[in-house]
Chains A and B, each alone.
Chain A
Amino acid sequence: MVIKTEGLSFSFGAQQVVKSLSLQVPAGSIYGFLGPNGAGKTTTIKMLLNLLKTGEGSIHIFGQELQSNRISILSQIGSLIEQPAIYHHLTGKENLMNRALLLQVSEQRVDEMLKLVQLTNAAGKKAGQYSLGMKQRLGIALALLSDPKLLILDEPTNGLDPNGIIEMRELMLRLVAGGKTVFISSHLLAEIEKMATHVGIINNGELMFQGTIHELQNINQPMIRIEVDNTVDAANFLKRNNFAVNDINHDHLYVPFISKQQIGDINTLLVQNGMTVFSINKHHKDLEQLFLDITQSN
């Protein structure tokens, strides 16, 4: 495990914002840390970076205890927390050069990073004049500068346009293919779904779910989605024939999926009884829906 926390808790005064969190982030994964705004994601990330003193519990990163191995652990982490921290009076390149000085990284690496995030042309421009997307990209270049083994990114796609989001996703996938681990927080499930290998879902400071992306999808029972001319009649008819109908709306009705054969049986039954079937297929609830179900049930 690259990150392993046990019983991690944190309070701001009387308000407990992180409750007994036990994260397990395997090496080489893209771990999507999901939760609505205010769920405790940033607080958790700040604890992982030793910016906030842990209330209770323990944090191990690369198998080492964080507090007592702070510097050796931090030297292998690149991070981007909330909005990127950038000196506006310096140019994009100067921002990177300043960090390169602190991390003792060469100017060549700085130029490579500028190229990677496509800021080479804007390198000499004051960072204060950058657009939000450019600032975000500069923030990512800063995080990647030391070639860290672990990348911790807090809402990195904030402010990026759709193209930027796709580029970011491709970059993450490339980094992981190169042996790195990425811990990425977001409140947008669709975004995480497209790249994460593992997912942790947090709400009100509590971990609601943790596992692989497939485990998450498997929890979600698949359905048969049937599009017919009259959903109400079809639903009543199926019920009389001992099929459970879970959900119904104007266009579709949903029956729990058991087997492919069952899809064929339902289709035959409906058609033979004079109903027009426009479409019938196996259907996963999208993760957005699942996410709402998990967070709202608690």
Chain B
Amino acid sequence: MKGFLLSFQSEFYKTRKTLGFWGAIILPILISSLAFLAVYTKSDVFVKMPPMGQWIQFSMISLGSMGSLLLPIYTIFVAYSVNNVEHKADTWKTLFSLPISRWAVYSAKFFYALFLLFLCLTLFVIFNVAFGNLLSVFKPELKFNEYHMELQLIQVYYKLLLSALGILSIQFLLSLLWADFLKPMGLGFVATITGVILASNNWKYSYLFPYAHPMGAIKSMVKNNNGPSKMLEIDIYTKDVYVSLVIAVVVFIAGYYIVQRKSVK
């Protein structure tokens, strides 16, 4: 456990000056600011909606872009980035000749990538809530202060995090095995586009394809209630989320055995 914690700390130390780390902070700021500007400049349209509708419309700007393309692509990038640090510096050999178990080195790297994803999505929730409330300060005619959906936002972004784990584990392994940029990123992009097409066309089995999960997660987030409801209920554990979790666990463990057998160059 100590080896894991030291390795995790070291991952932060190494990447704190890289785009992989700062991306987790810049992306939510950027997207949330754009959403803020969109609502601010089009406030006349939003004024006509009830407070809950305003929140949903505002939040969907971030959620929609994340769910469709941004989240899979950011996940692919994070997986690439944490491994590329070692490929570029040719440091796998030193990493694996430290008096720390291989399992600790491998898992710390994976969980650090997961942590970046978590950080990114947490900041999305925070900025989404903050900018929403800020809108009603700058534009009092908007009624963001009259409705609260913090819990639902946390639930949706948590669902998004879970739905991205399958992609993360696959891309993590690909980026670990391949030193170059094009192979893991290229495959990831093609798979993401395929996933978006499958999910947006409601293909019956798209829940089995990990790259379709973020979009599937957005599509399946609202619980189907009968009749009109004042409360928005989020359905977190849908079958695509379960598939994503199973893929993440299986690929993560399989990846360790592949790494274990692989000679360190």
Contacts and interface: CB of A to CB of B under 8 A. Distances in A.
B90 A85 contact: yes
A288 B11 CA distance: 45
B85 to A, nearest CB: 7
A52 B99 contact: no
Interface string A84-101: 011111100010011101
Given A71-B100, A86-B89, A142 B10 contact: no
Most buried by B among A79, A88, A102, A103: A102
Contacts of B93: 46, 49, 51, 81, 85
Most buried by B among A50, A53, A85: A85
Interface in A40-90: 46, 49-53, 71-72, 74-75, 77, 79, 81-83, 85-90
Contact of B264 (A46, A77, A97): A46
B244 to A, nearest CB: 32
A296 interface: no
B96 interface: yes
A101 B98 contact: no
A142 B7 CA distance: 17
B13 A101 contact: yes
Interface in B81-95: 85, 88-91, 93-94
Contacts of A52: 263-264
Contacts of B91: 85-87
Interface in A120-163: 142
A89 B17 contact: yes
B97 A51 contact: yes
A71 B17 contact: no
Contacts of A71: 99-101
A82 B90 CA distance: 10
Interface in B162-197: none
Nearest to A78: B97
A49 B97 contact: yes
A77 B263 CA distance: 20
Most buried by B among A51, A77, A79: A51
Contact of B94 (A85, A89, A104): A85
A35 B261 CA distance: 28
A50 B13 contact: no
Nearest to B101: A71
Contacts of B99: 71-72, 74-75, 103
A39 B100 CA distance: 30
Interface string B222-265: 00000000000000000000000000000000000000010110
A53 B263 contact: yes
Contact of A102 (B7, B17, B88, B89): B7
Interface of A: 46, 49-53, 71-72, 74-75, 77, 79, 81-83, 85-90, 94, 97-99, 101-104, 142
Given A52-B263, A71-B101, 12 more contacts: A51-B96, A53-B261, A77-B97, A79-B94, A81-B93, A83-B90, A86-B91, A101-B13, A102-B7, A102-B100, A103-B99, A104-B6
28 contacts: A50-B97, A51-B93, A51-B96, A51-B97, A51-B263, A52-B264, A71-B99, A71-B101, A74-B98, A75-B99, A77-B97, A81-B93, A81-B94, A82-B90, A83-B90, A85-B90, A85-B94, A86-B89, A89-B17, A90-B17, A94-B13, A98-B13, A101-B6, A101-B10, A102-B6, A102-B98, A103-B99, A142-B94
